[in-house]
């Protein structure tokens, strides 16, 4: 099982991981650690994959994920919800809850205040990031006692600028919020097209919001040899569906 960690998030009483697609039971397009209930994979395989990821994070953890809708909606959790909630970020101060973010090119962002024992996890696709999901996550953590100056953030595997081609209408959405956002776009190989730096933009949102510790893993989900699910790669290959990897953080005590 491929589980990446970031030193800045490590501390006694905390566990986290950015999981790849290895180490599960799914087959075919979903091989093998597909943790996405929204896929067309067999439900029992997804459940077993999620159990394995949860157990690898910490014994007896309760893995929670959302029905992600590319929004700025953040849920503050005091217990595991009875059913999946709609939204794109979660925060908690409750030990035992593993906050899981599902991705297949979007940026998973894990957050922690080690002093206040408050954690957060956010799904930063371009829509959610532009709408303020990361800033809303920080606000929600502060309401639980976190201090922005202490929060550390890690941006996990996501699609890189080299593999993220967009058109001028996409770029204009960002420029409407400030011409400074031009730096996240470089010209692509054809007129009116650009390549967008999603992890760079996510890091900018976090640092602009006051964080001083933001680390980006710098791993692209698009190349198959990197070992991650990718919506864009699946689309280009004209495959019928795709799996989702999971990134999670929890308080262990």
* Phi–psi pair at 17, nearest 5 degrees: -170, 145
Mean pLDDT of 180-198: 96
Contact 17, 248 (CB under 8 A): yes
pLDDT of residue 28: 97
pLDDT digits (tens, 9 = 90+) for 62-74: 999 999 999 999 9
Which domains, ranges and CATH numbers included, belong to the chain? 3-160+197-251 (3.60.140.10)
pLDDT digits (tens, 9 = 90+) for 79-88: 999 999 999 9
Strands 152-155, 165-167: pairing is unpaired
Mean pLDDT of 193-200: 98
Report the C-alpha gap between 71 and 131 in whole angstroms: 7
pLDDT of residue 60: 84
Mean pLDDT of 153-170: 98
Mean pLDDT of 21-45: 97
Mean pLDDT of 23-42: 97
pLDDT of residue 17: 98
Contact 245, 50 (CB under 8 A): no
Of residues 76, 88, 208, 100, the one with CA closest to residue 148: 208
104: Cβ–Cβ under 8 A, 6 or more apart, which residues?
36, 221, 228, 229, 230, 231, 234, 242, 243, 244, 245
Q: What is the pTM of this model?
A: 0.98
């Amino acid at each position: 099982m491929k589980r990446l960690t970031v030193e800045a998030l490590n501390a006694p009483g905390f566990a986290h991981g950015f999981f790849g697609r290895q180490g599960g039971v799914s087959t075919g397009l979903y091989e093998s650690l597909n943790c996405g209930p929204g896929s067309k994979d067999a439900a029992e395989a997804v459940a077993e994959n999620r159990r394995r990821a949860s157990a690898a994070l910490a014994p007896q953890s309760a893995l929670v994920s959302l029905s992600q809708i590319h929004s700025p909606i953040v849920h503050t959790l005091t217990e595991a919800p009875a059913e999946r909630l709609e939204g794109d970020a979660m925060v908690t101060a409750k030990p035992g809850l593993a906050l899981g973010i599902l991705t297949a090119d979007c940026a998973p962002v894990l957050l922690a205040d080690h002093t206040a024992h408050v954690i957060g996890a956010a799904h930063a696709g371009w829509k959610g990031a532009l709408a303020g999901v990361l800033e809303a996550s920080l606000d929600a953590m502060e309401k639980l006692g976190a201090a922005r100056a202490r929060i550390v953030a890690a941006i996990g595997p996501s699609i890189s600028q080299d593999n993220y081609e967009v058109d001028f209408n996409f770029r204009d959405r960002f420029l409407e919020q400030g011409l400074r956002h031009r730096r996240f776009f470089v010209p692509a190989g054809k007129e009116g097209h650009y390549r967008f730096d999603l992890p760079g933009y996510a890091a900018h949102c976090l640092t602009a919001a006051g964080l001083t510790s933001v680390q980006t893993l710098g791993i692209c989900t698009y190349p198959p040899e990197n070992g991650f699910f990718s919506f864009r790669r699946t689309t280009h290959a004209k495959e019928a569906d795709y799996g989702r990897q999971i990134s999670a953080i929890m308080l262990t005590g």
